[in-house]
Structure 1
């Protein structure tokens, strides 16, 4: 891929991700997923975990967990822990539960051996997922 086109496409996706239209922002998530090698895309998806539209929060979490590796999982767990008193964050936790329970992404198997590397908020997020999975 031409690096100039790659940058142009990323900038376009970043711009769309800030649209006032929720559907446009949600579609941009899937474009940003193509650029997880770039910290700007990761940072924007992380920001979208706290979007005003819950569907966008969940979709951003899904992309970070599916395509962002351990670091993506850490970001999402941290957000769940940080927003532990926000009922909207429960939707994100439930999505992680679904991914783990279905076997799509073995979140607990990936993260449990790395518990000593978790932030306080990530540890709280992990506990919430474990509770949902009946592993606590």
Structure 2
């Protein structure tokens, strides 16, 4: 019985794992021309990049710009922010790499990812772990009355 319950608990934990794991994106990769990665300055919580940064979180930027890939490319190349324009404005960024970044933003802009990012990836993982511990405690506790009757 204990093996069966252990297997069920482990399966329950792994059922939540896809919600906890960050999306696979290209945000951490610098451009091939030497321009820095997006996460050098920005956090992107929906993709799992939650470290403190000095620029805004870009989790919802694709939706904020209307979901238009061309507008997104234009903002990357010419955002109006002096630091970004100096780094990306005159840089010869290959179109293939820009398309990859824009598709990464599109991938994290889904409603499910936005809800999960606002909830917090570590909060979700901590909640699953606490539930796991409670279930283990409930199913594997000692019954003193039964042990006395042995």
- TM-score where L is the length of structure 1: 0.22
When you count helix as a share of all residues, which structure comes out higher? 1
